[in-house]
Amino acid sequence: MKKLSLKELNRPNIKEFKDQKKHPLVLILDNVRSALNVGSAFRTADGLAFEHIYLCGITAQPPHREILKTAIGASEAVDWTYFKEVGEAVNHCKDNGFTILGAEQTDKSIILPDFKVDKNQKYAIVMGNEVKGISDEVLPLLDFCLEIPQFGTKHSFNVSVATGIIAWDIFRQMKF
């Protein structure tokens, strides 16, 4: 067994990535306070070829030293837009035919393994603030709320980890 070189991985360069067909998935970051988490979200969106990222409220925007540190170039590849209000980003996605998914623990949450993706649908995934979660005014705008099952002492995963888990599961169901 040997590790594959970057050349053997045959990844697209930034121009090729920008030109390639993307998966009908976007991320909406709702007041994510850590720029390191934002960079990780860019890296996840790049790895799964998401269409777009919407950065909202206090969420840091490229170029930012900490975003660049964790994104490792993904913030140059993935298209993004800033909205001052997260509700504007959610409504923009709704107006463009996206089903809005939120990652939050609510009385109406669906446990992630129980959520079944419609392969003909486009999805926007809202990820909330590290402490407060998804903004209260956004909850009524969600079509579905997803919860990742957990079995330890903490009530949540880090937002970058949760983004990866949810993004991969939605992508996996759409693609495979």
Q: Establish if 5 belongs to a structural domain.
A: no
pLDDT digits (tens, 9 = 90+) for 5-42: 989 999 999 999 999 999 999 999 999 999 999 999 99
Note if the pTM is more than 0.85. yes
What average pLDDT does this structure show over 156-167? 97
Give the number of domains in the chain. Answer: 1
pLDDT digits (tens, 9 = 90+) for 97-112: 999 999 999 999 999 9
Q: What is the CATH number of the domain that holds 32?
A: 3.40.1280.10
Q: Establish if 6 belongs to a structural domain.
A: no
Tokens of 6: 């970057």
Q: What is the pLDDT of residue 72?
A: 96
Whether cis (ω within 30° of 0) applies to the bond prior to 63 is: yes
d(CA 63, CA 80): 12
Q: What is the pLDDT of residue 24?
A: 98
Q: What is the pLDDT of residue 87?
A: 98
Here the contacts of 59-64 (C-beta below 8 Å, separation 24 or greater) are: 59/29, 59/30, 59/31, 59/32, 59/33, 60/32, 60/35, 64/35, 64/38
d(CA 141, CA 144): 9
120: CB partners within 8 A, 6+ apart: none
Q: Establish if 12 belongs to a structural domain.
A: no
Longest dimension (CA), the chain: 51
Residue 153, domain extent? 21-175
Mean pLDDT of the chain: 97
Q: Establish if 55 belongs to a structural domain.
A: yes
pLDDT digits (tens, 9 = 90+) for 129-153: 999 999 999 999 999 999 999 999 9
Following DSSP, what letter does each residue of 72-117 receive, concatenated? TTHHHHS-EEEESSHHHHHHHHHHTTEEEEEE---TT-EEGGG---
Q: Establish if 103 belongs to a structural domain.
A: yes
Q: Establish if 140 belongs to a structural domain.
A: yes
Q: Establish if 8 belongs to a structural domain.
A: no
Q: Establish if 10 belongs to a structural domain.
A: no
